[in-house]
Structure 1
């Protein structure tokens, strides 16, 4: 990597402890808009159709396999959707930030019809499904000095059980391939949590929590996802990059968005692998340089994990 990338004059210099990580530079893959849209929630269905959304306008998009022109499906005005995941029955599960005090989880068909909302007492930022039909979600509230957020398990019959509390803005959530390890990014405390789950899947195993990594810089870790080797990919918000960790939480690499040294495309929010490939997609936008909203692409360290939604 060019040494100038570490210059203290850059808006998001790579911290010294991370400068020698294996580094790959992503390439532009799809321009979503000339406007600055807070893109989030990359998720594929069984056909290979990509779904994603933009938070503050509430538009849900799709992109057909092989296409580069996103289609606006419907809009959730005022709901501030933060992620979209696809149940194996084909329904969309859309996390809602709401007014950042109350939000919920919207369940609907891919065209936006047949809507119902659950978890309205929570500010739901992200979810990950388990193979038993349940899922985990993050309650995205709490600050660094007042940690009131948490991570919760929801059973297939929609019974909510707390997994972890007293967190400062828990954001991204991912589940290991064997479903025994839950990963959570804590944005407002700049931490990565690794949680060993008990056999019931909703409580923590003895001595089962640790913070294997403390992030450096502004603003903090955002959404995350895994590959088939249980490597974890974490988007760094306001840093224009994605960090990669092995199954134990040791950093093994990073993916840089081109233009980040000049302040472009810093709002990286979500990394996701395309099915049956090593293609890592990263969504971001450029509020400083006004270069619009994009999805970038890079080669991941392993192929995509075949998650619950495809079984």
Structure 2
């Protein structure tokens, strides 16, 4: 036997012995249950995964506040939207189902500001002159408009009429008296919507962030230099640095966050520059710092049992760090409710007092 052949055989034997040893060790490390016939490893619900809308793993360790019921709007599952505060501390929001804008006073007296005939209100914002602007749409018929009314609900006027071809969902004013609005068109594979800017003359409309899938919520930073938008159809949070009202700064456009599950809706900024996004279908609000990093969340009670999941919008009081989230329970029996929680900072004042 030559030395080469001897070395080859010796190496083969050593390799076989090593493989056998590894297999033996592997068998020894296997749990007894899985080694026995008929015992198969299985998945099982636990406290983190059971329920209708479990918190995604990446968000489970966030600072968390559980909101409390503050006002029952209706025992029926009315769709609520567009929560904001006026200069007098009243909370305004939309009854989408009833095509009404409602006013809730600090002592919790509810009244109707204005009713619309054919479109459903969804987004509210105050012009610097004190008028209330209303984004309204008709989703089944792919149409919408933006109206303005006096604070008492009189003088209804179409600012952007339905014939303009947009589906306005939400809006926010800048300090110059112009406003941004979202166009709710499209779907996840056909991004036909976007963010547009209407100048202070209220006639010139310019595309700022086109090609979005069902553009939804909007917020401006306290200095007005950063624009935030949610893309409902693709679960995205956009952060835009503005060079001017209609121009994105160089390398100033980014997707700051990709949500898991349904679906980012309206949002608000606070005085520290944090943004709060209502998560429709999850009964919660996610809070992000000015860089778009999640730093906290507000949970609505009953969400773990499938209640109060249609959390569409929120408002933060301009003098206090009090957040008020509006939601409805659909056919779940808990009606339409305003919930209250404390958050990081007070809200921004209405545009009319900036």
TM superposition score normalised by structure 2: 0.83
- For the aligned residue pairs, the C-alpha RMSD in angstroms reads 1.4
SS at match of 1:17: helix
2:145 alignment partner in structure 1: 104
Q: How many Å separate the matches in 2 of 1:279 and 1:32?
A: 19
Note the 1:253-268 alignment, pairs <5 A.
253-268=296-311
Residue 60 (structure 1) aligned to one of 96, 101, 105: 101
Is 1:69 the counterpart of 2:109? The answer is yes
2:228 alignment partner in structure 1: 183
User: What is the Cα deviation at residue 231 of structure 1?
Assistant: 0.5
Q: Does 176-185 or 80-89 show the bigger shift?
A: 80-89
- Quick check: 1:147–1:167 contact (8 Å CA) kept in 2? yes
User: What is the Cα deviation at residue 112 of structure 1?
Assistant: 2.6
1:137 alignment partner in structure 2: 181
Is 1:51 the counterpart of 2:92? The answer is yes
Q: Does 107-116 or 123-132 show the bigger shift?
A: 107-116
Residue 284 (structure 1) aligned to one of 327, 330, 334: 327
Residue 205 (structure 2) aligned to one of 136, 140, 160: 160
Q: By percentage of residues, which structure has more helix?
A: 2
Is 1:81 the counterpart of 2:121? The answer is yes
Change (3 A) 1:251 1:230: same
Note the 1:154-303 alignment, pairs <5 A.
154-158=198-202, 159-198=204-243, 200-217=244-261, 219-303=262-346
User: What is the Cα deviation at residue 56 of structure 1?
Assistant: 2.7
Larger Rg: 2
Q: Does 39-48 or 81-90 show the bigger shift?
A: 81-90
User: What is the Cα deviation at residue 207 of structure 1?
Assistant: 1.2
SS at match of 2:64: strand
Q: How many Å separate the matches in 2 of 1:78 and 1:5?
A: 45
TM superposition score normalised by structure 1: 0.95
SS at match of 2:216: strand
